[in-house]
Amino acid sequence: MNLSAFLNPVKQENIKFAASRKFVGQDGKPALWEIKAIATDEDEEIRKSCTKKVSVPGKYGQFTMETDYDLYLGKLAAACTVEPNLNDEKLQDAYKVMGSDKLLKKMLRPGEYALYLKKVQEINGFDTTVEETAEQAKN
């Protein structure tokens, strides 16, 4: 295989997504949110921050690692959101929350939030199986 394919990867573009009909621009159309993919090392840091050691019931001194996936997905979505700026102090103050992941949950309705999480996972490659990727490479 040609090494240049690995030296010059295709840059993944950010996507624009209408996460909610609650937020409209001056033209009356839903405001578009901008989502970016993150690097694997950043994803690992987010996952680690959502993982804790818990004791195994009935096994004194034994522990297992447990990840809070709801927290992980919220932090992942916040890290991938470019626009609106979820770290903006005025925006967080307006919703009376501290933290970008908490703000995201306040801004979106439950169904919108679930769809947003799905879109974030898609842009980060969590929607494709290894078989699909291999099939695409063959074509």
Res 44: pLDDT:
96
Fold type of domain 12-125: rbstp2171 (3.30.2220)
Mean pLDDT of all residues in 99-123: 96
> Would the pTM of this model clear 0.85, i.e. be above it?
no
Given a contact cutoff of 8 angstroms between Cβ atoms, the answer to whether 73 and 116 are in contact is no
CA pair distance 102, 96, nearest whole angstrom:
10
CA pair distance 117, 139, nearest whole angstrom:
29
pLDDT in tens, 28-63: 999 999 999 999 999 999 999 999 988 888 888 888
Query: What does the domain layout of the chain look like in residue ranges?
Result: 12-125
Res 43: pLDDT:
96
